[in-house]
Protein backbone atom coordinates (compact mmCIF):
# COMPACT_ATOMS: atom_id res chain seq x y z
CA UNK A 1 0.00 0.00 0.00
CA UNK A 2 1.54 3.35 -1.01
CA UNK A 3 1.93 5.79 1.89
CA UNK A 4 -0.07 8.77 0.77
CA UNK A 5 0.04 11.06 3.85
CA UNK A 6 0.13 14.26 1.91
CA UNK A 7 -3.27 13.53 0.39
CA UNK A 8 -4.94 12.01 3.46
CA UNK A 9 -7.49 14.24 5.34
CA UNK A 10 -6.29 17.43 3.56
CA UNK A 11 -8.36 18.77 0.65
CA UNK A 12 -6.40 19.68 -2.46
CA UNK A 13 -7.50 22.17 -5.14
CA UNK A 14 -8.14 20.43 -8.45
CA UNK A 15 -9.54 23.34 -10.42
CA UNK A 16 -8.22 25.02 -13.57
CA UNK A 17 -4.71 26.39 -14.06
CA UNK A 18 -4.65 30.02 -15.27
CA UNK A 19 -1.73 31.63 -17.15
CA UNK A 20 0.16 34.08 -14.90
CA UNK A 21 -0.22 36.87 -17.48
CA UNK A 22 -4.01 36.45 -17.24
CA UNK A 23 -3.89 36.49 -13.43
CA UNK A 24 -1.76 39.66 -13.50
CA UNK A 25 -4.40 41.41 -15.62
CA UNK A 26 -7.14 40.33 -13.18
CA UNK A 27 -5.20 41.28 -10.02
CA UNK A 28 -4.18 44.71 -11.32
CA UNK A 29 -7.71 45.91 -10.55
CA UNK A 30 -7.23 45.37 -6.81
CA UNK A 31 -5.52 48.71 -6.33
CA UNK A 32 -3.62 50.30 -3.43
CA UNK A 33 0.00 51.11 -2.74
CA UNK A 34 2.90 50.31 -5.04
CA UNK A 35 6.17 48.42 -5.23
CA UNK A 36 8.89 50.55 -6.80
CA UNK A 37 12.06 49.27 -8.48
CA UNK A 38 15.14 51.47 -8.82
CA UNK A 39 18.25 50.00 -10.53
CA UNK A 40 21.71 51.57 -10.19
CA UNK A 41 23.87 50.34 -13.06
CA UNK A 42 27.01 51.90 -11.54
CA UNK A 43 26.81 50.06 -8.19
CA UNK A 44 24.96 47.04 -9.60
CA UNK A 45 22.46 47.39 -6.75
CA UNK A 46 18.67 47.53 -7.21
CA UNK A 47 16.21 48.66 -4.54
CA UNK A 48 12.72 47.16 -4.34
CA UNK A 49 10.57 49.42 -2.12
CA UNK A 50 7.22 48.27 -0.70
CA UNK A 51 5.21 51.47 -0.37
CA UNK A 52 1.73 51.14 1.20
CA UNK A 53 2.18 52.64 4.67
CA UNK A 54 -1.49 53.43 5.20
CA UNK A 55 -2.06 49.68 5.09
CA UNK A 56 1.13 48.77 6.95
CA UNK A 57 2.70 47.82 3.63
CA UNK A 58 0.17 45.06 2.93
CA UNK A 59 0.35 43.83 -0.66
CA UNK A 60 -2.72 44.69 -2.72
CA UNK A 61 -3.39 42.80 -5.94
CA UNK A 62 -1.83 45.59 -8.00
CA UNK A 63 1.28 45.48 -5.80
CA UNK A 64 1.60 41.73 -6.40
CA UNK A 65 1.59 42.59 -10.12
CA UNK A 66 4.13 45.40 -9.51
CA UNK A 67 6.41 42.78 -7.92
CA UNK A 68 5.87 40.35 -10.81
CA UNK A 69 6.77 43.09 -13.31
CA UNK A 70 9.83 44.08 -11.25
CA UNK A 71 11.14 40.50 -11.28
CA UNK A 72 10.58 40.35 -15.04
CA UNK A 73 12.77 43.47 -15.35
CA UNK A 74 15.46 42.17 -13.00
CA UNK A 75 15.73 38.91 -14.97
CA UNK A 76 17.05 40.99 -17.89
CA UNK A 77 19.38 43.22 -15.83
CA UNK A 78 22.82 41.88 -16.81
CA UNK A 79 24.67 44.72 -15.03
CA UNK A 80 23.01 43.83 -11.72
CA UNK A 81 24.68 42.11 -8.76
CA UNK A 82 22.41 42.73 -5.76
CA UNK A 83 18.92 43.68 -4.56
CA UNK A 84 17.76 45.36 -1.35
CA UNK A 85 14.08 44.75 -0.53
CA UNK A 86 12.72 47.18 2.06
CA UNK A 87 9.55 49.07 2.90
CA UNK A 88 8.53 52.38 4.50
CA UNK A 89 7.30 53.29 7.98
CA UNK A 90 7.48 51.01 11.01
CA UNK A 91 6.01 47.77 9.61
CA UNK A 92 7.99 45.73 7.07
CA UNK A 93 4.89 44.12 5.49
CA UNK A 94 1.60 43.01 7.02
CA UNK A 95 1.00 40.39 4.35
CA UNK A 96 -1.80 40.27 1.86
CA UNK A 97 -3.99 43.39 1.74
CA UNK A 98 -7.14 42.23 3.51
CA UNK A 99 -9.21 44.48 1.23
CA UNK A 100 -7.90 42.43 -1.71
CA UNK A 101 -8.07 39.17 0.27
CA UNK A 102 -11.77 39.68 1.01
CA UNK A 103 -12.53 40.19 -2.71
CA UNK A 104 -10.80 36.96 -3.73
CA UNK A 105 -11.96 34.78 -0.85
CA UNK A 106 -12.74 31.62 -2.87
CA UNK A 107 -10.64 28.60 -3.95
CA UNK A 108 -10.33 29.58 -7.63
CA UNK A 109 -9.07 33.11 -6.86
CA UNK A 110 -6.97 31.91 -3.93
CA UNK A 111 -5.24 29.45 -6.24
CA UNK A 112 -4.71 32.27 -8.77
CA UNK A 113 -3.08 34.47 -6.09
CA UNK A 114 -0.89 31.58 -5.00
CA UNK A 115 0.04 30.90 -8.64
CA UNK A 116 1.00 34.55 -9.22
CA UNK A 117 2.97 34.85 -5.98
CA UNK A 118 4.67 31.45 -6.31
CA UNK A 119 5.76 32.37 -9.83
CA UNK A 120 6.97 35.80 -8.69
CA UNK A 121 8.75 34.84 -5.46
CA UNK A 122 10.32 31.68 -6.91
CA UNK A 123 11.85 33.70 -9.75
CA UNK A 124 12.92 36.44 -7.31
CA UNK A 125 14.59 33.76 -5.17
CA UNK A 126 16.31 32.24 -8.21
CA UNK A 127 17.57 35.50 -9.77
CA UNK A 128 21.36 35.46 -10.38
CA UNK A 129 21.44 38.52 -8.08
CA UNK A 130 22.12 38.48 -4.34
CA UNK A 131 19.03 39.66 -2.48
CA UNK A 132 18.67 41.06 1.04
CA UNK A 133 15.38 41.81 2.81
CA UNK A 134 15.64 44.55 5.44
CA UNK A 135 13.09 43.87 8.19
CA UNK A 136 12.65 47.08 10.15
CA UNK A 137 9.35 46.12 11.79
CA UNK A 138 6.74 43.37 11.71
CA UNK A 139 6.84 40.92 8.79
CA UNK A 140 3.51 39.09 9.12
CA UNK A 141 1.80 36.41 7.06
CA UNK A 142 2.65 36.98 3.43
CA UNK A 143 5.18 39.56 4.64
CA UNK A 144 7.06 36.79 6.43
CA UNK A 145 6.87 34.70 3.25
CA UNK A 146 8.19 37.64 1.22
CA UNK A 147 11.19 37.81 3.56
CA UNK A 148 12.02 34.14 2.88
CA UNK A 149 12.20 34.79 -0.87
CA UNK A 150 15.47 36.72 -0.46
CA UNK A 151 18.91 35.14 -0.04
CA UNK A 152 19.58 37.05 3.18
CA UNK A 153 17.56 38.86 5.86
CA UNK A 154 18.84 41.77 7.92
CA UNK A 155 16.72 42.94 10.86
CA UNK A 156 16.81 46.19 12.79
CA UNK A 157 16.37 45.79 16.56
CA UNK A 158 12.64 46.44 15.96
CA UNK A 159 12.33 43.74 13.30
CA UNK A 160 9.94 40.84 14.00
CA UNK A 161 8.64 38.00 11.88
CA UNK A 162 5.50 35.91 12.31
CA UNK A 163 3.86 33.28 10.12
CA UNK A 164 0.29 34.16 11.20
CA UNK A 165 -1.44 32.26 8.36
CA UNK A 166 -2.62 29.51 10.72
CA UNK A 167 -4.38 32.13 12.86
CA UNK A 168 -6.06 33.31 9.60
CA UNK A 169 -7.38 29.78 9.00
CA UNK A 170 -5.07 29.07 6.10
CA UNK A 171 -1.53 27.90 5.39
CA UNK A 172 1.27 29.83 3.70
CA UNK A 173 -0.04 31.06 0.35
CA UNK A 174 3.06 32.58 -1.22
CA UNK A 175 5.48 29.62 -1.03
CA UNK A 176 6.88 30.55 2.37
CA UNK A 177 6.24 27.14 3.91
CA UNK A 178 8.51 25.38 1.43
CA UNK A 179 11.25 27.99 1.76
CA UNK A 180 11.01 27.99 5.57
CA UNK A 181 11.65 24.22 5.70
CA UNK A 182 14.66 24.72 3.39
CA UNK A 183 15.94 27.56 5.61
CA UNK A 184 15.35 26.18 9.11
CA UNK A 185 14.63 22.47 8.72
CA UNK A 186 11.27 20.81 9.29
CA UNK A 187 11.14 21.05 13.10
CA UNK A 188 11.76 24.78 13.54
CA UNK A 189 9.65 25.54 10.46
CA UNK A 190 6.72 23.49 11.79
CA UNK A 191 6.99 25.12 15.23
CA UNK A 192 6.82 28.64 13.77
CA UNK A 193 3.91 27.69 11.46
CA UNK A 194 1.95 25.88 14.19
CA UNK A 195 2.37 28.59 16.84
CA UNK A 196 2.18 31.66 14.53
CA UNK A 197 4.38 33.26 17.15
CA UNK A 198 6.29 36.39 16.25
CA UNK A 199 10.02 36.12 16.84
CA UNK A 200 12.34 39.01 17.62
CA UNK A 201 15.43 40.02 15.68
CA UNK A 202 17.75 38.36 18.18
CA UNK A 203 15.83 35.08 18.16
CA UNK A 204 15.70 35.20 14.34
CA UNK A 205 19.50 35.35 14.33
CA UNK A 206 19.76 32.40 16.72
CA UNK A 207 17.31 30.38 14.57
CA UNK A 208 19.13 31.26 11.35
CA UNK A 209 16.22 33.23 9.91
CA UNK A 210 18.14 36.52 10.23
CA UNK A 211 21.69 37.00 8.94
CA UNK A 212 22.40 40.04 11.07
CA UNK A 213 21.01 43.01 12.96
CA UNK A 214 21.74 46.54 11.77
CA UNK A 215 23.23 49.08 14.16
CA UNK A 216 20.71 51.64 12.91
CA UNK A 217 17.05 51.45 13.93
CA UNK A 218 16.06 54.35 11.68
CA UNK A 219 15.09 53.16 8.20
CA UNK A 220 17.20 55.44 5.95
CA UNK A 221 20.38 54.64 7.89
CA UNK A 222 19.48 50.93 8.09
CA UNK A 223 18.99 50.82 4.29
CA UNK A 224 22.44 52.34 3.79
CA UNK A 225 23.87 49.79 6.24
CA UNK A 226 22.18 46.97 4.34
CA UNK A 227 23.65 48.27 1.07
CA UNK A 228 27.15 48.34 2.57
CA UNK A 229 26.63 44.86 4.08
CA UNK A 230 25.65 43.54 0.66
CA UNK A 231 28.31 45.43 -1.32
CA UNK A 232 30.99 43.81 0.90
CA UNK A 233 29.83 40.42 -0.52
CA UNK A 234 29.83 41.54 -4.15
CA UNK A 235 33.56 42.03 -4.72
CA UNK A 236 33.94 39.26 -7.32
CA UNK A 237 33.43 39.88 -11.05
CA UNK A 238 29.72 40.13 -11.97
CA UNK A 239 29.81 36.88 -13.97
CA UNK A 240 31.27 35.08 -10.93
CA UNK A 241 28.64 36.52 -8.56
CA UNK A 242 25.90 35.43 -10.97
CA UNK A 243 27.40 31.94 -11.31
CA UNK A 244 27.88 31.43 -7.56
CA UNK A 245 24.25 32.39 -6.90
CA UNK A 246 23.10 30.14 -9.75
CA UNK A 247 24.83 27.05 -8.35
CA UNK A 248 23.47 27.70 -4.84
CA UNK A 249 19.93 28.38 -6.11
CA UNK A 250 20.12 25.18 -8.17
CA UNK A 251 21.51 23.12 -5.28
CA UNK A 252 18.54 24.06 -3.05
CA UNK A 253 16.04 23.17 -5.77
CA UNK A 254 17.18 19.95 -7.50
CA UNK A 255 18.54 16.50 -6.54
CA UNK A 256 22.27 16.09 -5.73
CA UNK A 257 23.50 14.57 -9.01
CA UNK A 258 21.55 17.10 -11.09
CA UNK A 259 23.03 19.92 -9.06
CA UNK A 260 26.56 18.55 -9.60
CA UNK A 261 25.92 18.39 -13.35
CA UNK A 262 24.87 22.05 -13.26
CA UNK A 263 27.95 22.95 -11.22
CA UNK A 264 30.29 21.23 -13.73
CA UNK A 265 28.68 23.11 -16.61
CA UNK A 266 28.86 26.49 -14.84
CA UNK A 267 32.46 25.87 -13.70
CA UNK A 268 33.62 24.91 -17.21
CA UNK A 269 32.33 28.19 -18.69
CA UNK A 270 34.30 30.29 -16.14
CA UNK A 271 37.44 28.15 -16.31
CA UNK A 272 39.94 30.04 -18.48
CA UNK A 273 37.52 32.95 -18.73
CA UNK A 274 38.44 36.63 -18.37
CA UNK A 275 38.11 36.75 -14.57
CA UNK A 276 40.05 33.48 -14.18
CA UNK A 277 42.86 34.59 -16.52
CA UNK A 278 43.12 37.98 -14.78
CA UNK A 279 43.43 36.30 -11.38
CA UNK A 280 46.12 33.92 -12.64
CA UNK A 281 48.09 36.84 -14.09
CA UNK A 282 47.95 38.63 -10.71
CA UNK A 283 49.49 35.62 -8.90
CA UNK A 284 47.20 36.35 -5.94
CA UNK A 285 48.40 35.38 -2.41
CA UNK A 286 45.37 34.63 -0.17
CA UNK A 287 46.91 35.71 3.13
C1 LIG B 1 -0.85 34.66 1.81
C2 LIG B 1 -1.19 35.96 2.43
C3 LIG B 1 -1.69 35.77 3.82
C4 LIG B 1 -3.01 35.15 3.77
O5 LIG B 1 -3.82 35.53 2.91
O6 LIG B 1 -3.23 34.31 4.65
C7 LIG B 1 -1.74 37.05 4.55
O8 LIG B 1 -0.76 37.70 4.67
S9 LIG B 1 -3.27 37.56 5.20
C10 LIG B 1 -2.85 39.03 6.11
C11 LIG B 1 -2.12 38.66 7.35
N12 LIG B 1 -1.79 39.87 8.07
C13 LIG B 1 -2.53 40.36 9.06
O14 LIG B 1 -3.53 39.77 9.45
C15 LIG B 1 -2.06 41.65 9.66
C16 LIG B 1 -3.23 42.43 10.21
N17 LIG B 1 -2.75 43.69 10.76
C18 LIG B 1 -2.18 43.77 11.99
O19 LIG B 1 -1.98 42.81 12.70
C20 LIG B 1 -1.80 45.17 12.45
O21 LIG B 1 -2.41 46.10 11.58
C22 LIG B 1 -0.28 45.39 12.42
C23 LIG B 1 0.37 44.60 13.54
C24 LIG B 1 0.30 44.97 11.07
C25 LIG B 1 0.00 46.89 12.61
O26 LIG B 1 -0.62 47.33 13.79
P27 LIG B 1 -0.70 48.91 14.08
O28 LIG B 1 -1.35 49.08 15.40
O29 LIG B 1 0.63 49.51 13.81
O30 LIG B 1 -1.66 49.49 12.94
P31 LIG B 1 -3.22 49.24 12.78
O32 LIG B 1 -3.61 47.87 13.17
O33 LIG B 1 -3.96 50.39 13.38
O34 LIG B 1 -3.36 49.34 11.20
C35 LIG B 1 -3.17 50.56 10.53
C36 LIG B 1 -4.01 50.52 9.29
O37 LIG B 1 -3.47 49.49 8.41
C38 LIG B 1 -4.48 48.58 8.09
N39 LIG B 1 -3.88 47.27 7.87
C40 LIG B 1 -2.98 46.66 8.65
N41 LIG B 1 -2.67 45.45 8.15
C42 LIG B 1 -3.40 45.30 7.00
C43 LIG B 1 -3.53 44.28 6.01
N44 LIG B 1 -2.82 43.15 6.05
N45 LIG B 1 -4.39 44.50 4.99
C46 LIG B 1 -5.09 45.66 4.91
N47 LIG B 1 -5.03 46.68 5.81
C48 LIG B 1 -4.18 46.47 6.84
C49 LIG B 1 -5.43 48.61 9.26
O50 LIG B 1 -6.68 48.12 8.87
C51 LIG B 1 -5.45 50.09 9.60
O52 LIG B 1 -6.26 50.75 8.66
P53 LIG B 1 -7.59 51.51 9.18
O54 LIG B 1 -8.22 52.07 7.96
O55 LIG B 1 -7.10 52.54 10.16
O56 LIG B 1 -8.42 50.44 9.87
What does the alpha-carbon distance between residue 253 and residue 274 come to, in Å, rounded to a whole number?
29
Index of the ligand 1 atom closest to the CA of residue 143: 8
How many structural domains compose the chain?
2
Q: Which residues line ligand 1 (CB under 6 A)?
A: 55-56, 58, 91, 94-99, 101, 138, 140-142, 164-165, 168, 170, 173-174
Which structural domain range is residue 256 located in? 238-282
Whether 10 maps to a domain, the answer reads no
pLDDT at residue 279 is higher than 60: yes
CATH number for 160: 3.90.226.10
| Residue 261 counted as domain residue | yes
Atom of ligand 1 nearest to the CA of 140: 12
Nearest CA to ligand 1 atom 6: 165
The number of CA neighbours under 13 Å toward the Cβ of 7 is: 5
Q: Say yes or no: 85 and 204 in one domain.
A: yes
CA–CA distances in Å: residue 219 to residues 140, 156, 253, 287: 18, 9, 33, 37
| DSSP 8-state class, residue 80 | -
Whether residue 220 sits in one domain with residue 156: yes
Claim to verify: residue 120 and residue 169 sit in the same structural domain: yes
Examine residue 222 and state whether it is found in any structural domain, yes or no. yes
Per the domain annotation, does 15 fall within a domain? no
Which atom of ligand 1 is nearest to 97's Cα? 45
pLDDT tens digits along 132-173: 999 999 999 999 999 999 999 999 999 999 999 999 999 999
State pLDDT tens for residues 73-99: 999 999 999 999 999 999 999 999 999
The residue-averaged pLDDT of 199-224 equals 98
| Statement to judge: residues 153 and 249 lie in one domain | no
**Model-level pTM?**
0.96
Distance, in Å, from the CA atom of 148 to the CA atom of 117, rounded to the nearest integer, reads 13
84 plus 165 within the same structural domain: yes
- Residue among 88, 98, 147, 173 whose CB has most ligand 1 atoms within 8 A, to mutate: 98
* Cβ neighbours for 21, distance < 8 A, ≥ 6 positions apart: none
One domain for residues 252 and 174: no
Q: Which helix (H) or strand (E) holds 276?
A: helix 274-282
pLDDT interval class at 117 (50, 70, 90): very high
In a domain, 136, yes or no: yes
Are 116 and 168 found together in one domain? Answer: yes
Q: Is residue 12 part of a domain?
A: no
**Whole-complex ipTM:** 0.98
Distance in angstroms (rounded) separating the CA atoms of residues 209 and 216: 19
| Gap between the Cα atoms of 48 and 86, Å rounded | 6
Report the alpha-carbon distance of residue 227 to residue 219 in Å, rounded. Answer: 12
**pLDDT at res. 6:** 59
CB atoms within 10 A of CB 26: 16
Tell me whether residue 7 is in a domain.
Answer: no
- Nearest residue by C-alpha to atom 16 in ligand 1: 94
Q: Give residue 9's pLDDT band: very low, low, confident or very high (50, 70, 90).
A: confident
Check whether residue 112 and residue 190 sit in a common domain: yes
Q: Are residues 145 and 275 in the same domain?
A: no
Domain shared by 125 and 254, yes or no: no
Residue 13 belongs to a domain: no
How remote is the CA of residue 29 from the centroid of ligand 1, in Å? 20
Enumerate residues 6+ apart whose C-beta is below 8 A from 189.
177, 180, 181, 183
Amino acid sequence: MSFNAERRWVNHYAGPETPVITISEQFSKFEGGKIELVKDNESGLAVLKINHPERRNALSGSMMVDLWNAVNTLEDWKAGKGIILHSVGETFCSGGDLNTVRQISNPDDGYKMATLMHNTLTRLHQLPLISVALIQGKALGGGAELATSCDFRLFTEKGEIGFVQGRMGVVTGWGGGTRLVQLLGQHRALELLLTSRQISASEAVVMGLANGITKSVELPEAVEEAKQWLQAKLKHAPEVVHALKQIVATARAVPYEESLQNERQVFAMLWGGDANKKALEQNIKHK
